[in-house]
Amino acid sequence: EKLLALLLCAMLCLPVLALAESAVDTYTVDFDDFTLTLTEYDVIQRASTKVSDQLLAMVYVNYDESNATHDNFNIVWCDYDNTSSITTFPSAEAYGEELLKANVAAMESVGFTVSNAKLLHARAEGPIAAFTYVTDVDYSALGLDLVLSQYQMQVFYTLDANNSYVFTFSSATMEGLEALAAYMDAIDFK
């Protein structure tokens, strides 16, 4: 939906790069409530069933198995309005700070060391909310000698009181995150 992409551009104050119409082949993946356009270089893993608060799909963008890190995004479906709790906070920024704390706690609970967590942008308007943040993550818990910055954007999109989605985009660079944001323009809600 073009409106969603325009709103994200305004929220993030970042240039959003559209999927280029070039020699790259694209294909469409159909979900119950939307379709998603991917390129031939993207790899998608999908859950066999849609279960609330569980991973519905994981997409590795321009996947190259020789890279140590992979820009990616995941999609989680919720059987409730995932933006309604934002109104219980004094501002979108306050909600974003709590969201960031919860994300850091989740990473630390599985053994990652997280530092320098910072909320970069927060915006909520109607059925859409977006939060962008950066953290430094030590991946020693996975047996990797790797510490790097992780840029993330979470977009909450509510269709109705019993149906919403969370899209989480992750990259090792801000430029990579900006490119990932273009995939919101590749989502067409039905």
Specify the higher pLDDT residue, 85 or 131.
131
Q: Tokens 């942008």 belong to which residue? A: 121
Which pLDDT score, from 0 to 100, does residue 64 have? Answer: 86
Hey, what amino acid is at 190?
Answer: K
Query: 3-class SS at 84?
Result: helix
pTM recorded for the entire structure? 0.84
C-alpha–C-alpha distance, residues 35 and 22, integer Å:
20
Residue 11 has pLDDT above 80, yes or no: no
How far is residue 59's CA from residue 77's CA, in Å, rounded to a whole number?
Answer: 15
Buried b (16+ CB within 10 A) or exposed e, 76-92: bbbeebbbeebeebeeb
Rg (CA), the chain: 16
Q: List pLDDT tens digits, range 99-157.
A: 999 999 998 998 889 999 999 999 999 899 999 999 999 988 878 888 889 999 999 99
Task: Supply the pLDDT for residue 185.
Answer: 85
- pLDDT on residue 23: 67
Token representation of residue 131: 């939060």
Q: Residue 143 is encoded by which pair of tokens?
A: 């047996």
How confident is the model at residue 190, as a pLDDT? 87
User: Does pLDDT of 20 surpass 60?
Assistant: no
Q: How far apart are CA 132 and CA 168, in angstroms?
A: 10
Check pLDDT > 50 for residue 90: yes
